[in-house]
């Protein structure tokens, strides 16, 4: 008796991968646009995977969409958070990738003066069952200027 095993592999061209990278950066920009228009909470939840993880200073990882919602809904949300991806890369299977870039957080201080905090971020993305990019891990770092 002869048995055959069939292995299927998706093989994508370098052109497909480059288009995928640009597509992921475009999704990250749409994510930022939604944050500017509707607020960070709505944007982060709209693009979050069910198992999303946020890493922040001085806290254990925040794991799962419900925990993320509770965490980002705490405290004041009277600010605007926008960002710009500087780079994206994706897997050769086109379903896992990451972006990194810079962000600007704009808020009013106690004297009602507009202030800005700037930093860098890293977001890891994967495609869900419908083929949409969802973030699975988000991390931000404060400060772009050298420490004084």
Query: How is the chain split into domains, by residue range?
Result: 14-142
Nearest by Cα to 120 from 102, 135, 139: 102
Q: Which residue has the higher pLDDT, 57 or 86?
A: 86
Over 90: is that where the pLDDT of 7 sits? no
The per-residue pLDDT of the chain, averaged, comes to: 91
What pTM was estimated for this model as a whole? 0.87
101: closest CA among 24, 40, 45, 47?
A: 24
CA distance 3 to 63: 44
Contact 92, 118 (CB under 8 A): no
d(CA 129, CA 79): 33
What's residue 130's pLDDT? Answer: 96
Give the per-residue pLDDT at 76.
81
Is the predicted pLDDT of residue 6 greater than 60, yes or no? Answer: no
Higher pLDDT, 83 or 6: 83
Residue with tokens 């993305």: 125
pLDDT mean over 108-119: 91
Query: If one looks up domain 14-142 in CATH, what number appears?
Result: 3.10.450.50
């Amino acid at each position: 008796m002869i048995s055959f095993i069939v292995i299927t592999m998706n093989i994508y061209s370098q052109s497909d991968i480059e288009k995928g990278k640009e597509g992921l950066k475009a999704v990250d920009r749409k994510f930022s646009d939604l944050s500017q228009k509707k607020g960070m909470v709505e944007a982060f939840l709209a693009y979050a995977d069910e198992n999303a993880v946020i890493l922040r200073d001085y806290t254990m990882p925040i794991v799962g969409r419900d925990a993320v919602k509770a965490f980002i809904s705490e405290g004041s949300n009277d600010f605007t958070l926008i960002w710009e991806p500087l780079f994206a890369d994706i897997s050769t299977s086109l379903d896992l990738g990451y972006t990194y870039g810079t962000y600007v957080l704009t808020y009013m201080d106690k004297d009602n003066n507009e202030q800005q905090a700037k930093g860098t971020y890293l977001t890891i993305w994967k495609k869900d069952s419908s083929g949409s990019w969802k973030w699975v891990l988000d991390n931000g770092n404060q400060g772009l200027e050298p420490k004084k």
